[in-house]
């Protein structure tokens, strides 16, 4: 049942994003930025943790989770090291994700050829 809930949640977020993308002049960059900010805002309001506990991986694989991770890292860093800890907390929390994206992008670029 958890797989179904995760699939439905992630699919619904993607569906809404695609509808907005198709029916407005919004670019994919705007959608990405908006979902990241929404994830951070929901984390600030204490809602994103409840979404993750309800939908599991369906909520953690979306770009909105990146905003949630940035916010959580900033708060943890601030509590541990003060104002400068905001930046180190964000980077420490999201560093693995950023490195993974860069490595996988490089590998897929080598394996597959883009079509015009």
The predicted structure's pLDDT at residue 1: 87
The predicted structure's pLDDT at residue 9: 94
What are the extents of the domains in the chain?
Answer: 2-111
Q: What is the pLDDT of residues 75-93, one digit of tens each?
A: 999 999 888 888 888 888 7
Structure tokens given for 89:
């907390």
The predicted structure's pLDDT at residue 85: 87
What does pTM read for this prediction?
0.80
């Amino acid at each position: 049942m958890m797989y179904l809930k995760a699939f439905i949640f992630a699919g619904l977020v993607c569906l809404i994003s695609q509808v907005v993308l198709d029916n407005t002049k919004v670019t994919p960059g705007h959608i990405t930025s908006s979902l990241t900010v929404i994830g951070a805002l929901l984390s600030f309001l204490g809602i994103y943790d409840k979404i993750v506990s309800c939908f599991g991986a369906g909520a953690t694989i979306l770009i909105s989770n990146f905003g949630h991770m940035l916010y959580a890292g900033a708060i943890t860093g601030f509590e541990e090291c003060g104002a400068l800890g905001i930046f180190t907390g964000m980077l420490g929390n999201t560093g693995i994700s950023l490195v993974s994206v860069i490595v996988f992008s490089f590998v897929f670029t080598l394996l597959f050829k883009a079509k015009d």
